[in-house]
Amino acid sequence: TGKAVAIRFSTLEAICKALDCQPGDILEYEYD
For residues 9, 15, 19 and 25, what is the CA-based torsion angle, rounded to 10 degrees? -50
pLDDT of residue 13: 96
pTM: 0.66
pLDDT of residue 1: 65
- The tally of domains found in the chain comes to 1
pLDDT of residue 3: 77
Write the pLDDT tens digit of every residue in 1-32.
677 788 899 999 999 999 999 999 998 888 87
Domain containing 17: what range? 1-32
